[in-house]
Amino acid sequence: MGAWDMGPFDNDGALDHLGNLDGAKGMADLLATAMREILDDGEYVEGPEMSGAVAVACLVGARVIGAEPDAVAARWLEHNPFEPSAELRDLARATIDRATRPDDNELYELWEDSGSLDAWLTALTPYRRALA
């Protein structure tokens, strides 16, 4: 059984993606690439891929916040330094915007179908606020 919960770091797609990035060199570039892949994809995006991109975007938001609102993010950021440049913040904001648009990604549809869309959107609020 996989991990699945409201927070951006609480599901398998997100955790797998962060695990693949953990400890890599050139973290800012890797984060930017991960978000650009989703933003440049004009097709429907599957849930695990969108979950990974949302987690990356929320890491940028968590870095901006400084006092990470999530234990997983706090641990990950402690071991993976990067500067939340204006470009990363813009990409992160656009990634979260794409994830929260209906009709072009499975993640949105899964939350909507479960009746938990509002709760999921609320879980993203501190990150969106940090990136505004």
Chain segment 6-34, per-residue pLDDT in tens: 788 888 888 888 888 888 899 999 999 99
Chain segment 35-86, per-residue pLDDT in tens: 999 999 889 999 999 999 999 999 999 999 876 667 888 888 999 989 999 9
Instruction: Report how many domains make up the chain.
Output: 1
pLDDT of residue 2: 52
Residue 1's pLDDT band, with cuts at 50, 70 and 90, is: very low
In 3D space, the residue among 22, 83, 19 whose CA is nearest the CA of residue 51 turns out to be 19
Phi-psi region of 23 (alpha: psi -120 to 50; beta: other; left: phi over 0): left
Residue 121's pLDDT band, with cuts at 50, 70 and 90, is: very high
Residue 83 lies in a domain: yes
pLDDT of residue 6: 75
Residue 64 lies in a domain: yes
- Cα 27 from chain centre: 15
Residue 3 lies in a domain: no
